[in-house]
Amino acid sequence: MHPKNRLWATAALCASTLLSACGGSDGPEFRTTAYGKVQGINDAAGTGTYAWKGLPFAKPPVGALRWKAPVEPDAWEGTRAARTFGNACLQNGRIYGPGANNTYDASIATTLNTPVGAEDCLTLNIWRPAGDARDLPVIVFVYGGSNVSGYTADPVYDGAALAKATNAVVVTTNYRLGMLGFMNLPQLKSGDGSPGDSGNFALLDIIQALKFVKGNIAGFGGDPGNVTLMGQSAGAINTWALMTTPLSAGLFQKAIPLSGGISLASNLPAGNLPALNPAAAYLAQGNALLARLVIADGLASDSASAQAWIAGQSSSQIADYLRGKDGATILKTVLAAGLTSSGPIPDGAVLPVDPIGAIAAGNYHKVPVLAGNTADEGKLFAPLLALFGGPAGFKIGDAERFSMMASFNPDAPTRLNEGDILDPAYVPSQAPVTGWNAKSALIGAAFMTPNRDNVLNTLKAKQSDVWYYQFDWAQEPAPWNAIYGAAHAFDLPFLFGNFGPSVFSNAANSEANKPGRTGLSQIMMNSIGAFARTGNPNHAGLGVTWKPWPSAVSFDASLTQPRVTER
């Protein structure tokens, strides 16, 4: 080829590649994935971002695919609309999950403890800054909810503000929940040692989402070689789990696990609450669910006859029986039987039998880690006070509390006081020993703190790039500043730059505290951005030098000014 022609050909190829990455002549909201073309949202004039929502990263895990490892989605013809969130995964309603309409709205109060969402839910969402920048850092977020609830359409998790503030591509992903996401039952296993035999379907979903990111994110301007996996609460437990499984090798290069750990009871001093249960606990849970379903269907009259019926069936017959059940029926049975605990199963294949031991032995993905907790984690776990011999922290139910917050005006005088919400045993909240502050601190001291120290100290012995923050902001209007303070998950709006509408927004966010909280939010998002780019959360606006664990920084603010200090 003539040199001049070769030059023109090279220029044409480069132009073609750039157009593909930027959306081509159709506009920047059009992109092409390995499965087909998608049309998202061009919000350059509003949030300064482009977004794509409801992108399938796996086939719907329904029918024969229920309790199976996720399978790549089918390709589609034409252009797929990617302008609305996909379904929330099937779950029993909680105030932290969706209502009947896959979003935060008043229906949450009327759908508590009833099935919401759908099994056809394995979708993810992408936001990126407007413009044609390429090779941007990628942040993949995994929601919390005790591994039994949560959804990417929660307004707190909208990725636009974080993408804009960090100049990064932000991805949020759904994953299966509860016993649809974690199920340890021999009859569902193929016996060939395949990943699905672990029962960790939710972890496999997140891995499949990360594979989608690796194979497709360049077309959205992201760098597939610079992915930060970020999760909060159950999402943090799952993030820690993915740091210890060989199946996620090369899929992320940094990790941000917030308010979660990966310790078994055997890793902690006696009397503490572990973040992880052994596989045997989930085997017992799976067997109990199966027996309950058999009795409910009239195939047996009691536990003994249910076990006899089950023993008379082949594994394939049991698997067909379970996969033939309506998903909502399964969830109702789980709730009625009190089988609601859920989480990663340390099966020894997908997840080590002892993840902390695996980290101590160096058998994990050695990536920079930024961890965090809130100062008053226990204030969102009021029922756990029963473990300490007292009544549950709140004297009102979730429906009443939800409605109370939804109707609260943070900028107007109120007659509401802490005694309207807290059990009388914990009022006044500031009373030494007996007050709500002191009692809720016991939960954090027995749960979050030992799990945090165990994993971070184990990790620190293997690598130096481990960072930690404590979120101390507690400037809510009264009485919510006493009820919640810096409660579990209250750092999330700051990290995403989203302060409403959402379940806690009326209780937390007032015009009076807006200057301080928005300023603090910007600093926290900048730390996330710095970490996603470099593996170090320090940046010019931090105001202090953030040293690795066991040092830490405190994120706090007055009503009007951010306060970041060394701890």
Q: Which tokens sit at 481?
A: 């500043």
Q: Is residue 300 part of a domain?
A: no
Q: Is residue 244 part of a domain?
A: yes
Q: Is 25 a catalytic residue?
A: no
Q: What is the pLDDT of residues 372-382, one digit of tens each?
A: 999 999 999 99
Cα dihedral sign, 188-193-195-200? positive
Reported as a pLDDT band with limits 50, 70 and 90, residue 26 is: confident
* 175, 249, 158, 23 alpha-carbon torsion, rounded to 10°: -110
Are 255 and 381 in the same domain?
no
List b or e across 165-196, with b for residues whose CB sees 16 or more CB atoms inside 10 angstroms. bbebbbbbbbbbbbbbbbbbbebbbeeeeebb
pLDDT higher at 421 or 7: 421
- Residue 91's domain comprises 3-265
Type of residue numbered 457: N
pLDDT at 25: 59
Local structure of residue 102 (DSSP, 8 states): S
Closest CA to 528 of 74, 169, 152, 88: 169
Are 93 and 213 in the same domain?
yes
Q: Is residue 238 part of a domain?
A: yes
Reported as a pLDDT band with limits 50, 70 and 90, residue 121 is: very high
Q: Where residue 533 sits, what CATH number does that domain have?
A: 3.40.50.1820
Domain endpoint, select from 213, 243, 265: 265
Pairing of strands 222-232, 254-258: parallel
Residue 483, strand partner residues: none
Domain endpoint, select from 265, 287, 322: 265
Rounded percentage of the chain residues whose pLDDT exceeds 70? 96
Q: What is the pLDDT of residues 447-497, one digit of tens each?
A: 999 999 999 999 999 999 999 999 999 999 999 999 999 999 999 999 999
Give the H/E segment covering residue 449: helix 448-460
Local structure of residue 383 (DSSP, 8 states): G
Structurally, the chain folds into a number of domains equal to 2
Are 231 and 380 in the same domain?
no
Reported as a pLDDT band with limits 50, 70 and 90, residue 159 is: very high
Are 242 and 376 in the same domain?
no
Given a cut of 50, is residue 15 above it in pLDDT? no
Are 155 and 16 in the same domain?
yes
Indicate the average pLDDT of the chain: 95
Pick the catalytic residue: 146, 233, 248, 510? Answer: 233
What mean pLDDT do residues 39-55 have?
A: 98
- The verdict on pTM exceeding 0.85 is yes
Please list the alpha-helical segments (H only) found in 462-563: 480-483, 492-496, 505-508, 514-534
Query: What are phi and psi for residue 560, nearest 5 degrees?
Result: -120, -15
Domain endpoint, select from 235, 265, 295: 265
- Cα separation, 458 vs 39, whole angstroms: 45
